[in-house]
């Protein structure tokens, strides 16, 4: 797991040991939501363990407002543009995630 976090740190993610060490952040990249409005705050990344191995998931956190919605309380906290990577080992999951992250291959699962 330490090697996996070292790879993500080399890619620019910042990990805080106070948050358990498996959650990191980086500045968000621009993401087009069409006519709607999205104000990104950061891109979070999380390394987790599942039954089949390890996974790395990441999304942009920010405030989202629908087009022409200007009434009070129409802006919501949202997580968009998920990028995922999975593998038998944490290192394998991170390598797949980084390939998807660099090519901006977003998870389009419904």
pLDDT value at position 21?
78
The mean pLDDT value for 72-86 works out to: 79
pLDDT at 110: 42
The number of domains in the chain is: 1
Length of the chain: 110
Q: What distance in Å separates the CA atoms of residue 15 and residue 1, rounded to the nearest whole number?
A: 13
Q: Please count the CA atoms within 13 angstroms of the CA of 63 that sit on its side-chain side.
A: 6
What is the pLDDT, as a whole number, of residue 73?
61
Flag whether pLDDT at 75 surpasses 70: no
Q: Does 108 fall in a domain?
A: no
Q: Is residue 68 domain-resident?
A: yes
Q: What is the rounded average pLDDT for all residues in the chain?
A: 86
Return the higher-pLDDT residue of 69 and 105: 105
Q: Is 109 part of any domain?
A: no
pLDDT of 72? 59
- Angstrom distance (rounded) from CA 40 to CA 62: 4
Tell me the C-alpha distance between 14 and 100, whole Å.
19
For residue 71, pLDDT beyond 70: no
Q: Is the pTM of this model over 0.85?
A: no
Percent of the chain with pLDDT over 90: 44
Domain region containing 27: 2-101
**Element holding 109 (H helix, E strand):** none
Rounded to whole angstroms, the Cα distance separating 6 from 26 reads 14
pLDDT at 12 over 80: yes
């Amino acid at each position: 797991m330490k090697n996996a976090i070292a790879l993500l740190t080399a890619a620019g993610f910042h990990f805080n040991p106070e948050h358990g060490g498996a959650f990191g952040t980086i500045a968000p990249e621009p993401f087009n939501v069409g006519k709607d409005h999205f104000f990104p705050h950061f891109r979070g990344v999380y390394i987790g363990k599942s039954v089949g191995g390890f996974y790395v998931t990441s999304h942009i956190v920010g405030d989202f407002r629908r087009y022409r919605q200007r009434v009070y309380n129409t802006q919501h906290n949202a997580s968009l543009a998920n990028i995922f990577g999975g593998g038998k080992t944490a290192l394998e999951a991170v390598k797949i995630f980084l390939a998807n992250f660099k090519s901006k291959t977003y998870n389009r699962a419904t």
